Structure 1
Amino acid sequence: MSVPLYEAKAELFRLLGHPVRIRVLELLQDGSRPVRELLAAIEVEPTGLSQHLAVLRRSGMVTAHRDGSTVVYALAGGDVADLLRAARKLLTQKLTGQNELLSELLDTETGVR
């Protein structure tokens, strides 16, 4: 039995629902990075990062390859970067709306309309 599309989408967003995973994906937008660079950029224990990278790898969002003794990660494709850009755009719109509401509230407090 196949999973309905809306459930598959919900699972995708659950997968992305952790700040460490989002940060890893953001860092990889600029290109491949070895694990040591990811660890230096993200405040997380090595075992925790390893678990998050494994989840992202199993989901097909990132790929990994060995360069000698170093494991290097990369985004699996441009669609992941597109999704992150879309999320940034949505957040920008949301915060812009909140700033407009805050300005309106402050204006009504001071009697300015």
Structure 2
Amino acid sequence: MNAENPQSPPVASVPLYQLKAEFFKTLGHPVRIRVLELLSTRDHAVAEMLPEVGVEPANLSQQLAVLRRAKLVHARREGSTVVYTLASAEVADLLRVARSIIGSLITDQAGLLADLRAADRG
């Protein structure tokens, strides 16, 4: 029994690093990242995302289901249209940080390449 709620089963203790690994695995697909990028700007209907993501509707549906199960996005119906939104603005922050890190890595690699080319000439 859980001490906070005696009727609930005990909660299994999962190390934080394992939860983080599962979280990043969820993000580890280009379509999911693209969807999250789109939703970082505004809510989108599925039909709006299709041309931006460039995959078949069934594939987009599968990836959206993964994001919903991970509680990274929420879906709502507006008539016959399903509209998606980010579950948390922090997801957009994470994508911005990732972009910054990648930019730094690319800059570092460009500097290393310039150094190598200069060494070859010298």
Q: TM-score range by the shorter chain?
A: over 0.9
The reply on whether 1:62 has 2:82 as its aligned counterpart is: no
Per the alignment, in what secondary structure is the counterpart of residue 29 of structure 1?
A: helix
Structure 2 stretches lacking a partner, 5+ long: 1-11
Query: TM-score w.r.t. structure 1 length?
Result: 0.96
Q: Following TM superposition, by how much is the alpha carbon of 1:62 offset from its aligned partner in structure 2, in angstroms?
A: 0.6
Q: Identity over the aligned pairs, expressed in percent?
A: 56
Q: Distance in 1 between matches of 2:47 and 2:22?
A: 29
Residue from 14, 17, 24 that aligns with 1:6? 17
Residue from 28, 31, 50 that aligns with 1:20? 31
Q: Distance in 1 between matches of 2:64 and 2:107?
A: 33
Moved beyond 4 Å, runs of 4+: none
Q: Following TM superposition, by how much is the alpha carbon of 1:57 offset from its aligned partner in structure 2, in angstroms?
A: 0.9
Q: How many residues align?
A: 111
The reply on whether 1:101 has 2:102 as its aligned counterpart is: no
Match of 1:88 in 2: 99
The reply on whether 1:45 has 2:70 as its aligned counterpart is: no
Q: Distance in 1 between matches of 2:29 and 2:53?
A: 13
Q: Following TM superposition, by how much is the alpha carbon of 1:100 offset from its aligned partner in structure 2, in angstroms?
A: 0.4
Q: For residue 88 of structure 2, what is the amino acid of its counterpart?
A: G
Match of 1:76 in 2: 87
Task: Provide the alpha-carbon RMSD of the alignment.
Answer: 0.7
Per the alignment, in what secondary structure is the counterpart of residue 41 of structure 2?
A: coil
Deviations 1:72-92 (A, max 9, x none): 001111110011011101101
Q: Following TM superposition, by how much is the alpha carbon of 1:110 offset from its aligned partner in structure 2, in angstroms?
A: 1.2
